[in-house]
Structure formats: structure tokens, C-alpha cells
Amino acid sequence: MGGTDNRWAFLKRAVSYQKCIRAGGKHNDLEVAEIYFSQTAHDVGKDLHHQTFFEMLGNWSFNDSYSKEDACKLAWHFLTEVLSVDADRLYVSYFGGSNKFNLPSDENCKKAWLDIGVPESHILPFVSENFWEMGSTGPCGPCTEIHYDRVGGRKNVGHLVNVDNSVVELWNIVFISLLRTPNGDLHPLPSHHIDTGMGLERLAAVMQNVPSNFDIDAFAPIMKYISSVSKRGSYGGEVGSEDVGGRDASYRILADHMRAVVIALADGVEPSAVDAG
């Protein structure tokens, strides 16, 4: 974070593409992840947008190369003008503050979204969901997220953000401005950085106008094949209590794991009982 001496130290801005497999650690989607502010659990297959393997797009600002206002503008421009995503279906969230850690609400972020033209009813404060940290120590900070209403044609569904499968997070913009020490204290970093991440599969679902990640062109043939060899019938895209017997969740788990294994093998990762191999 600006203090390293290596061949990338000259970078002020960057974009990234990552193949991500999360099968362990704090941010994995297979088990409960305990963090400072709350406990969250995301089980692959139980919803329509979490995966073991996913592709993540990102852009970065190092050492105050651009501001949080700039980051919000860039993201909004890309989604609404470059990709022509319907702005009325977008909701943004920001860090609402924490008394426990004496952190104020990120009002500058809220103002940035208001200045862009996002209606106040589409700007929502959260705590744990909008504070990012990779581990129990290290760089961290508040974040802002852009969420998409998969259904459309309805007004003011902000109450469904972070609650319902029909409104899904597209883009997370992290303002790395703090350092958490081993005793849990938070200290400001000497310079600020921005790290963003957007799930390619989630974006593909928006652009292809399909109900979920598991309906995009990368997953559709896999889901079709699983349905064809199963004796449980065709995939129906149901979740929760509507997924009677857990059939659709099982199909999603199979598709997700098959894809993750194939990608890992193609990249030379082989099964092993030693370390992560």
C-alpha cells in the first residue's frame, strides 16, 4: 500500500481480471465467515449468485490517484452509459457508521452519489455489509456497493438490498483508508487506495437479461446437461422454500463445482492431500 519497493511500485492506476476460486478462508462462500461487525454465511447453491469459481473485474487507484467521488463516477458511467444498464434499477449502499469502532457514517460517499444524480431513495446505509477487510488485521475501510434489481418495473425496492435474491450486488468499491492492528484498533493509512470488484457472471446475467448467474451462456449448457441425466426433472431456478426437496440448489451446486474443477485443472491445479494442491 505504497510502502513496498518492487517493480509495480510506480503504478498509480490499474485494471484487473481475476479467476477466483473461494473454497476456504474469510471470504469464501462455502461456510460461515466471522467478521468483526457480524456473522454472514453464503452457501453456494442456496441462492442465485454465489459461486465457488467466478471471474472478477476490477479497477484500482493507488496513493490517492483518484478520489472516491471519481471512483463512483467511473463506475456509474460504465454501467449506465457504456453498458446502458437502466439507472432506475440500480441502488447504491454506503457505510452508515459504527459506534462500536467509533467510525462515522461515510457522508462524503453519500454526497457523491447524490451529486451524480442517484435518488436518495436509492442510496442506503449499512454497517457490516459496507466495511471491507480481508482478514483480522491489515488494510481495510468503508465501501460502497452498486446493486441491481433483477425484476425491474417496480419502484423503491431498497428494502430488498442485501435481503432478497431479486436485488443482487454488482460492484463493490472499497476505500482502503484504515489499518487494523492485531489488538483490533483502527488507524488511518498515510495514503488512500481504491480497490473495486465486479462479478463478471453477475454482469453477464444483467446484459443477457436472464434471471440469474446460472442462466447465462456459461452455465446454461451445464444446467441443461444436469437436467437431462437427472431423474428429478428440469432445472426450475427456485430457491428457499419454493425449491421443494432442494433439487434446484443441488443442480446449482453440481454446475458450480463442475465448472470450478474444470477451470482449476485447465490451469494446472491438481488434487492433492498436501497444502492447497
Average pLDDT, the chain: 89
Within a domain: 276 = no
Within a domain: 161 = yes
Within a domain: 95 = yes
Predicted confidence (pLDDT) per residue in 139-149, tens digit: 999 999 999 99
What is the average pLDDT across 40-52?
78
Given 207, 231, 247, the domain boundary residue is 207
Within a domain: 106 = yes
pTM of the model: 0.88
Between CA 95 and CA 103 the distance in angstroms is 9
End-to-end CA distance of the chain: 29
What is the average pLDDT across 39-66?
83
Domain co-membership, 128 together with 198: yes
For 154, how many CA atoms within 13 A lie in the half-sphere containing its CB? 13
Domain co-membership, 196 together with 224: no
Query: Coil, strand or helix: which one is 129?
Result: helix
User: How confident is the model at residue 277, as a pLDDT?
Assistant: 60
For residue 143, the domain's CATH number is 3.30.930.10
User: How confident is the model at residue 32, as a pLDDT?
Assistant: 34
Angle between helices 68-77 and 107-116 (to 10 degrees): 40
What is the average pLDDT across 20-35?
55
User: How confident is the model at residue 237, as a pLDDT?
Assistant: 92
Domain co-membership, 152 together with 218: no
User: How confident is the model at residue 201, as a pLDDT?
Assistant: 97
What is the domain extent for residue 253? 213-266
User: How confident is the model at residue 31, as a pLDDT?
Assistant: 47
Within a domain: 69 = yes
Predicted confidence (pLDDT) per residue in 199-228, tens digit: 999 999 999 999 999 999 999 999 999 999
User: How confident is the model at residue 186, as a pLDDT?
Assistant: 93
State the total domains in the chain. 2
**AA letter at 256:** D
Predicted confidence (pLDDT) per residue in 132-173, tens digit: 998 889 999 999 999 999 998 998 899 999 999 899 999 999
User: How confident is the model at residue 271, as a pLDDT?
Assistant: 82
Query: Counting Cβ atoms within 10 Å, is residue 168 exposed (0-12), middle (13-18) or buried (19+)?
Result: buried
Given 207, 240, 257, the domain boundary residue is 207
Within a domain: 110 = yes
